[in-house]
């Protein structure tokens, strides 16, 4: 494994470390779980290992379909080597079916198919209880991205959604919504961070039961088992 250096940033479910190569970083996936901006904390046994594998699997799938990501290679059960990016200060939320905060804000009933797909931009690392939603003009005023970059990010996000929705449908999982994060790497906008049950809502296509962090948020049982189920379906394990 490359030499781990100083910690660059730490999120709810992972830590990112520098390496001796300025173009590369190491991601460590944690078992710790957090919800409601840290008001609820806990531990999901084996979550870090599952998320590392799920992220690797999905990022490889996206690469095969023409999406550049920060993923380079799997190191071990909880570590992956990635391209070291200058992360953008906002995230993109792609919503296919109404759930979570969207239903609270708009009154659209849970489970409603959204046509067209809803795209939201939210500031990251906010101290506010809910990540603030921002529009293109906010982002331009903050000098966070150019109009050309925003057009690219929107197109990439919709393509990612199309690819993953089709793939997950084949393994009986509905992609309800997901959060995507991007970074600059040698001047290019690429997909970074993670796509896992921590950052996406995955529902069983038959029962509509959540297979993601919502089980932890809502004090449901079998949280670890739900994460494992997502991985098993991706790996073709019955």
d(CA 30, CA 47): 7
Enter the tokens of residue 6.
Answer: 């100083």
Strand partners, 181: 91, 192
d(CA 185, CA 179): 20
| Residues 164-199 pLDDT 10s | 999 999 999 999 999 999 999 999 999 999 999 999
Write down all domains in the chain, each with its CATH number in brackets.
7-83 (3.30.200.20), 86-222 (3.30.470.20)
Assess whether pLDDT exceeds 80 at residue 39: no
d(CA 132, CA 202): 23
60 neighbors 71 (Cβ within 8 angstroms): yes
d(CA 219, CA 121): 28
Mean pLDDT of the 8-22 span = 94
Percent of the chain predicted with pLDDT > 90: 90
78 neighbors 50 (Cβ within 8 angstroms): no
pLDDT at 130: 73
pLDDT band at 2 (very low <50, low <70, confident <90, very high): confident
76 neighbors 1 (Cβ within 8 angstroms): yes
Alpha-carbon radius of gyration of the chain: 17
pLDDT band at 51 (very low <50, low <70, confident <90, very high): very high
Assess whether pLDDT exceeds 80 at residue 128: no
| Residues 137-169 pLDDT 10s | 999 999 999 999 999 999 999 999 999 999 999
| Residues 98-119 pLDDT 10s | 999 999 999 999 999 999 999 9
* Pick from 97, 96, 49: nearest CA to 74: 49
* Pick from 79, 91, 71: nearest CA to 15: 79
């Amino acid at each position: 494994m490359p030499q781990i250096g100083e910690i660059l940033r730490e999120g709810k479910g992972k830590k990112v470390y520098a390496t001796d190569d300025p173009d590369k970083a190491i991601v460590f996936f944690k078992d710790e779980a957090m919800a409601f901006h840290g008001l609820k904390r806990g531990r999901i046994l084996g979550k870090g290992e599952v998320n590392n594998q799920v992220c690797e699997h999905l990022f490889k799938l996206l690469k095969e379909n023409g999406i550049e990501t920060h993923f380079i290679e799997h190191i071990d059960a909880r570590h992956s080597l990635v391209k070291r990016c200058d992360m953008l200060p906002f995230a993109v939320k792609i919503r296919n079916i109404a759930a979570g905060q969207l239903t609270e804000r708009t009154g659209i009933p849970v489970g409603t198919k959204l046509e067209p797909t809803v795209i939201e931009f939210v500031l990251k690392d906010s101290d506010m209880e809910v990540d603030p939603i921002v529009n293109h003009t906010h982002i331009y005023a903050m000098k966070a991205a150019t109009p050309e970059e925003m057009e690219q990010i929107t197109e990439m996000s919709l393509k990612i959604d199309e690819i993953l929705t089709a793939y997950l449908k084949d393994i009986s999982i509905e992609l309800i919504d997901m959060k995507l994060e991007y970074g600059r790497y040698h001047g290019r906008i690429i997909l970074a961070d993670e796509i896992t049950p921590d950052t996406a809502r995955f529902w069983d296509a038959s029962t509509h039961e959540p297979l993601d962090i919502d089980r932890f948020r809502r004090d449901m049982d079998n949280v670890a088992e739900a994460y494992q189920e997502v991985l098993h379906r991706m790996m073709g394990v019955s």
